[in-house]
Structure 1
Amino acid sequence: MLDDFLIRAGLAGLGVALAAGPLGCFVVWRRMAYFGDATAHASILGVALALGFGVSIIWGTLAVALLMALVVSTLAGRGHAMDTTLGVLAHSALALGLVAVSFLHGVRVDLSAFLFGDILAVSKGDLAVIWGGAISVAALLVWRWSALLTSTLNEDLAHASGIDPKRERLVLTVALAVVVAVAIKVVGALLIAAMLIIPAATARGFSRTPEAMAGLAVAIGAVAVAGGLWVSLAFDTPAGPGIVSVAALAFSAATVLRVLRPQRR
């Protein structure tokens, strides 16, 4: 069954949706959208380093994404403006990655596949890595769910409950780096943040509990994957941008419904 490239693509997309849905909820609640975008942009530098040293791209992107997240957290903790720090590091890492790729000789690099994803070319090995990372992130979030929610709502309340907000921030940082590393093959570095934010933002207006929002975000992400793959096959368009476009349409429809709902009442 897994010899069918479309089935592998769908399973890969579902794996990313499983991890990105609940993690994206925390990104939305904590207003970390730019943080996720910066981490994703830095993954291109990880791709260049991985190709240069002959190691797995997954490990290269994971290492650089973790480094980026830790550096940003450290600088922000020392009083540096978060938005400025993210802007400088994100664009610098992206530019350095693109420059580094140009120095690789004897290595064929399709930058568009890393920038916008190449889900239709996912192999069985890629599928194993994606689902391994997705299950790890989902398990981590389930394990730390209560503590993460408490520290997200109120850090003072977290301290009073014996929870260290810095530790929970580190948990989110690690989870975000893993999602970036496994999702780069599916939607690419430039669109990873969209898969984190759009399904969660869409689910927010239709959920009464954090758990319901996380579950609905996963479902919306899965629908976006299925719809994006269908659009790609039907109209011969790039699959990664197609997935994000379907998610954006879902967000637009949800926004219209929320606007019209009070008028109907």
Structure 2
Amino acid sequence: MDDALIRALLAGTGLVLATAPLGCFVIWRRMAFFGDATAHAALLGVALALALSLPVGLGVLAVALVFALLLFRLTRGGEAPDTVLGVLSHGALALGLMAVALLPDAQVDLEALLFGDILDVGPRDVALVWAGSAGVLAVALWRWQGLVTASLNPDLARAAGLRPERDDAVLTLLLALTVALSLKLVGALLISALLILPAAAARAFARSPEAMAVLAAAAGAVSVAAGLALSVALGTPAGPSIIAAAAVLYALGRVVAR
């Protein structure tokens, strides 16, 4: 294994520590398209960062957070979540691609933005992913009981003295941060799959919310390792190979569960 492959494995493993618990909440709350919508909006952050000569990661994070808060406010205002997600997702993707294309003298690899390039991560990227995932995981563990209760039954959460609206906002912000961390690794079009597939694979075997999160992390780590191995063996792009491995793992899990 060369250094690039080791860094890719470390970055992918660190990332699934954040995507595993959040993917469980995405499935429980039926928010499957949230990751796609936020990732599409993140392309606007790339264009903004390039236009202002700022770090790309900073622009992506800022736009992802603004998008997540906007989505949270619109859905709380009575708009249908699937309609809001569809409008914002496709609109943001189109605007982001147009903005990147119109930037003067900007050398942007659109394929890397859409599908990721995990084999191109450096030591700084690995450290950033692990730090961000550790922060996401820490907040998720801190608010775990409230997030689970609000996901299962908001009325029960209120009766228990909790504020499900606050937990909804926390989850939305954590998802936005995770999308920003994931963009370079798996790209805007594949982030949602990394959230959903490992958690869906773990669902059939879990007997508690905590067990599902742990199994999802294990499934995500296996998917990263298997996807990178496929990429090296077949010469395929690493990001799609990781998602393909996760899809196969989900299918195998369904067969075993039956």
TM-score range, shorter chain: over 0.9
Letter in 1 for 2:188: A
Q: How does 1:19-168 map to 2 (within 5 A)?
A: 19-168=18-167
2: CA distance between counterparts of 1:114 and 1:130?
A: 17
**How many residue pairs align between the two structures?**
258
Aligned partner letter, 2:99: A
Once the two structures are TM-superposed, the CA of residue 36 in structure 1 deviates from its matched residue by 2.0
Question: Which amino acid is 1:169 matched to?
Answer: D
- Matched residue type, 1:210: P
Q: Which amino acid aligns with 1:83?
A: D
Distance in 1, matches of 2:125 and 2:53, equals 17
Letter in 2 for 1:141: A
Deviation, 1:257, is 2.0
Residue 189 of structure 1 is matched in structure 2 by 188
Q: Matches of 2:159 and 2:254 in 1, distance apart?
A: 37
**Conservation of the 8 A alpha-carbon contact between 2:40 and 2:96:** no
Conserved? CA contact 2:116–2:184, under 8 Å: yes
Structure 2: stretches of 5+ with no match in the other structure:
none
SS state at 1:80 partner: coil
Q: After the TM superposition, list the runs of 4 or more consecutive aligned residues in structure 1 that deviate by more than 3 angstroms.
A: none
Q: Distance in 1 between matches of 2:49 and 2:220?
A: 29
Residue 209 of structure 1 aligns with an amino acid whose one-letter code is: S
Measure the CA separation in 1 of the matches of 2:27 and 2:80: 19
- Structure 2: distance between partners of 1:78 and 1:4: 49
Aligned to 2:170: 171
Q: Distance in 1 between matches of 2:160 and 2:50?
A: 45
Range that drifts further, 10-19 or 47-56: 47-56
Structure 1: distance between partners of 2:203 and 2:246: 14
Deviates most, 241-250 or 148-157 = 148-157
Give the AA of the match of 1:48: A
| SS of residue paired to 1:185 | helix
- Give the distance between the partners of 2:188 and 2:228, measured in 1 at CA: 18
Percent identity of equivalent pairs: 57
Q: 52-61 vs 21-30, which deviates more? A: 52-61
**8 Å contact kept, 2:42–2:61:** yes
